[in-house]
């Protein structure tokens, strides 16, 4: 499209030239989409804004912008300016004040037009909030063949000429090109591009390193989890083995207890027998140590009395009367017979021993 003025040298005409040149390489569909996006932005009146405020892009006060819009509309109505092939509404879309409804930021319409149409940006110039989604198919293949598409260097030269015409080259919001010639500005721009490329490469390397570290951390975490699981499984296996050993020991103890309980009656019987044997041995030893002669050596029993006792008839109810064998008138045969009988009776008392003194009685 052509600028809506007769000579094309005013600032407004230069903006239109820039916009017209910038959209030429794009498809007709994208161009119409961007123009419609700008045209659909709300038209603010003087009562809608503070006239002392300024556009954050060009720093022109809103009061001056409204005055410029009024002057332009007067020329259009007088017939002095008429966009070639364009309607009044599209021409008015590049003047006045508007705002982005999504975020509420206010700009002059020419800056929004340059941003959206000229640079194909679908976001707010201030906060980058999305205004319109730009289709991805904007290359030469999407061209319908009806628009002018300059070749690489030619297009850049034309853009440079437009920048030089109304001091837009390139956008310098931070004053990086203040006081520089065109060649110096280009050199500065090249330096900034190189610096940006270096920083971008550094960021890519940092991102790559971070990705590698993240992969290592994930691998380490996975390995640690596997090691922990293996260690836990090993501990469980060791506990199972220890428990099995303890069960075997407990079973062995229970087996020994059962064997002991089964053998306990026999042990008790054997212990009783051993105790009886020990008691028997003790009593027998006491009898063996007894001095049978001591009591009789001190005994004052006479030989006659001892003879009377041994010759007494235990089966007789009559008391035995001592006899004087030496003074007896009985014959020797009768005496011998009685003595033999008494000796037999004496054999009934094995524990009775005769002292040498008592033995003299029987020494005939």
3-state SS, one letter per residue, for the chain: CCCCCCCCCCHHHHHHHHHHHHHCCCCHHHHHHHHHHHHCCCCCCHHHCCCCCECCCCCCEHHHHHHHHHHHHHHHHHCCCCCCCCCHHHHHCCCCEEECCCCCCEEEHHHHHHHHHHCCCCECCCCCCECCCCCCCCCHHHCCCCCCCCCHHHHHHHHHHHHHHHCCCCCCCCCCCCCCCHHHHHHHHHHHHHHHHHHHHHHHHHHHHHHHHHHHHHHHHHHHHHHHHHHHHHHHHHHHHHHHHHHHHHHHHHHHHHHHHHHHHHHHHHHHHHHHHHHHHHHHHHHHHCCCCHHHHCCCCCHHHHHHHHCCCCCCCCCCCCCCCCCCCCCHHHHHHHHHHHHHHHCCCCCCCCCHHHHHHHCC
Token pair listed for 84 = 């070639």
3-state secondary structure 120-136: CCCECCCCCCECCCCCC
pLDDT of residue 173: 46
More confident residue, 192 or 345: 192
Quick one: CA dihedral 322, 325, 329, 331, positive or negative?
A: positive
Q: What is the mean pLDDT of residues 220-249?
A: 84
Question: How sure is the predictor about 272, in pLDDT bands with cuts at 50, 70 and 90?
Answer: confident
Question: How sure is the predictor about 220, in pLDDT bands with cuts at 50, 70 and 90?
Answer: confident
Question: How sure is the predictor about 87, in pLDDT bands with cuts at 50, 70 and 90?
Answer: very low
Q: What percent of the chain has pLDDT over 70?
A: 51
Query: Residues 109-120: pLDDT tens digits?
Result: 888 888 887 778
Question: How sure is the predictor about 57, in pLDDT bands with cuts at 50, 70 and 90?
Answer: confident
- The CA-atom distances, in angstroms, between 129 and each of 33, 39, 101, 280 are 18, 18, 10, 120
State the chain's mean pLDDT as an integer: 66
Token pair listed for 165 = 């015409």
pLDDT of residue 148: 43
pTM of the shown model: 0.32
More confident residue, 226 or 27: 226
Q: What is the mean pLDDT of residues 190-218?
A: 79
Q: Which residue has the tokens 């509420």?
A: 104
Q: What is the mean pLDDT of residues 45-71?
A: 83
Q: Which of 127-136, 166-175, 185-194, 270-279 has the lowest mean pLDDT?
A: 166-175
pLDDT of residue 312: 55
pLDDT of residue 344: 53
Q: What gap in Å lies between CA 80 and CA 68, rounded to an integer?
A: 15
Q: What is the mean pLDDT of residues 72-81?
A: 67
pLDDT of residue 229: 82
Q: What percent of the chain has pLDDT over 90?
A: 0
pLDDT of residue 317: 46
pLDDT of residue 79: 64
More confident residue, 111 or 178: 111
pLDDT of residue 69: 75
Is 80 exceeded by the pLDDT of residue 364? Answer: no
pLDDT of residue 97: 85
Question: Where do the structural domains in the chain lie, given as residue ranges?
Answer: 11-171, 301-362
230-241 burial, b at 16+ Cβ within 10 Å, e below that, comes to: eeeeeeeeeeee
Is 70 exceeded by the pLDDT of residue 225? Answer: yes
Question: How sure is the predictor about 21, in pLDDT bands with cuts at 50, 70 and 90?
Answer: very low
Question: How sure is the predictor about 257, in pLDDT bands with cuts at 50, 70 and 90?
Answer: confident
Counted residue by residue, the chain has a size of: 364
Q: What gap in Å lies between CA 211 and CA 234, rounded to an integer?
A: 34
**Dihedral of the alpha carbons of 115, 119, 125, 127, in degrees to the nearest 10:** 150
- Give the other-Cβ count within 10 Å of 9's Cβ: 13
Question: How sure is the predictor about 346, in pLDDT bands with cuts at 50, 70 and 90?
Answer: low
pLDDT of residue 357: 47
């Amino acid at each position: 499209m052509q600028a809506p003025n007769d000579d094309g040298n005013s600032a407004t005409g230069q903006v239109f030239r820039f916009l017209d040149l910038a959209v030429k390489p794009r498809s007709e569909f994208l161009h119409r989409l961007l123009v419609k996006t700008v045209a659909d932005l709300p038209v603010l009146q003087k009562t809608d804004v503070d006239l002392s405020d300024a556009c954050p892009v060009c720093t022109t006060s809103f009061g001056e912008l409204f005055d410029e819009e009024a002057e332009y509309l007067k020329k259009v109505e007088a017939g002095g300016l008429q966009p070639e092939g364009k309607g009044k509404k599209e021409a008015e879309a590049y003047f006045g004040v508007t705002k982005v409804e999504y975020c509420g930021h206010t700009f002059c319409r020419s800056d929004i037009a340059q941003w959206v149409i000229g640079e194909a940006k679908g976001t707010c110039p201030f906060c980058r909030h999305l205004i319109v989604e730009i289709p991805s198919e904007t290359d030469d293949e999407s061209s319908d063949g009806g628009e002018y598409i300059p070749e690489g260097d030619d297009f850049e030269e034309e853009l440079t000429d437009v920048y030089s015409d109304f001091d837009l080259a390139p956008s310098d919001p931070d004053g990086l090109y203040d006081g520089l010639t065109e060649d110096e500005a280009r050199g500065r721009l090249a330096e900034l591009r190189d610096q940006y490329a270096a920083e971008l490469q550094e960021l890519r390397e940092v991102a790559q390193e971070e990705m590698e570290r993240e992969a290592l951390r994930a691998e380490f975490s996975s390995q640690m989890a596997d090691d922990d699981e293996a260690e836990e499984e090993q501990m469980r296996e060791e506990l199972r083995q220890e428990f099995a050993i303890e069960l075997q020991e407990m079973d062995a103890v229970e087996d020994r207890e059962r064997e002991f309980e089964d053998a306990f009656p026999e042990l008790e019987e054997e212990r009783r027998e051993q105790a009886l044997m020990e008691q028997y041995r003790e009593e027998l030893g006491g009898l063996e140590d007894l001095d049978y002669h001591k009591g009789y050596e001190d005994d004052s029993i006479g030989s006659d009395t001892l003879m009377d006792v041994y010759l007494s008839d235990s089966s007789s109810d009559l008391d035995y009367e001592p006899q004087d064998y030496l003074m007896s008138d009985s014959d020797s045969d009768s005496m011998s017979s009685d003595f033999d009988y008494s000796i037999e009776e004496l054999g009934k008392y094995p524990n009775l021993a005769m002292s040498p003194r008592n033995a003299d009685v029987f020494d005939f």
